Chain A
């Protein structure tokens, strides 16, 4: 019998170092930005941490914030592993949320409606990703362009749907009607808003891990992503693998959208997602497309998001700091690979 090694492999160690390095560099540059704004960076980060985890309520709000980010980025991790760059998760999320909401309202409450809404939402996201996936596989059109364009089609479509055909009759702003209360996800921690969706997101972590590490599909995804030539010689149907990994990321994006509706917002609004689909890209890369890494990274990004709202009213740092930190994080995650290589050559780092 082969003994499983419990030690961390060299590759894993390397990606942990890379992720930590990118976080440290991002915090360093953010500190400079704080200093420019006459704000003590250490104090700012303490406030941020308190804003994210200060008490049970704040901590559960951070978990709630993590939920859509985690679900989206788990899906993206699968497609990124296949080197398929789905940047259309934002649109897939909105379409999933909209269709799932329509299903919940249409069926009219009850456990069936709850389940149906989740399924319809996820399938909606899948279908929205299927167009770009077909264009990629059948016509060879770059999925980055098509998935991004589909965001605009999808979000404008949802905007229109909540402004006209599915508009709630009893609110002033354009938004859909509320889903029946019996199709909302139950609160699992009394006194907070922590809902079943959080558990669902966390349960997806081992599932996606299993999918990637223990199934033939996961193996194919890795081979197609790392060595398409080998995949071709090995007789793999590359197109099929690409198609499935892209629509799978759409499926989870749609699920993230409907979970956000059923757990926290209860209706579709134009402000449903502050860019979770884009945050998911950074999270998947920071977590090195590894479900456990992705879970930690989405908690980190959720903490920054919630912590920054505390910063906004304590230190007058605008909320845009989240977007700035995301952008920096993205650049540093990318640059960390050559940086680690450089440090290794210099003998500073031994991995």
Chain B
């Protein structure tokens, strides 16, 4: 899901930086008002959690393992604005320090995963879980559906950004200059694996973690 450097043209990655920046600005302003001096340690630990969550391998089927991105889980636990900053910081660290995800594509990756994924996950969870008790099953179902849909929203956005490259960025001879595949290929390629596999893994892990917290740390779910 992390788009590397060289896959998106300047028009796309520039626009996505422009779209993501106001979300970063608003989230920072909002958190500064609510968290005050607690902001940096709270977000830093949230970002570190966001980074390490991908390392937890979980048994899937027939001895295979999978992992979650954890965006919806973080949104449910920390709220949408802290998620935007925490997941973005984790993505910046992955790109700048580990070479995972492009530096020029940072705006796109942050938009797809942190902004759209975080807001979709949080919004869907809030709508389905509205008015329910902290320990209710409805919250688990809400978290699973939100995680599943949020991951697929991120995957769809990634597919669209890659798929519009041959339309937007062509040489005078009509040759694609960046990612060469059209929407008819990128959308099914990205969505097939996310709809049938990764989305399910994300939903299961999110619901199971929430179930554990409902049982042992319900005060963490008051948000």
Bound pair (A, B): no
Chain B residues near A (Cβ < 8 Å):
none
Chain A residues near B (Cβ < 8 Å):
none
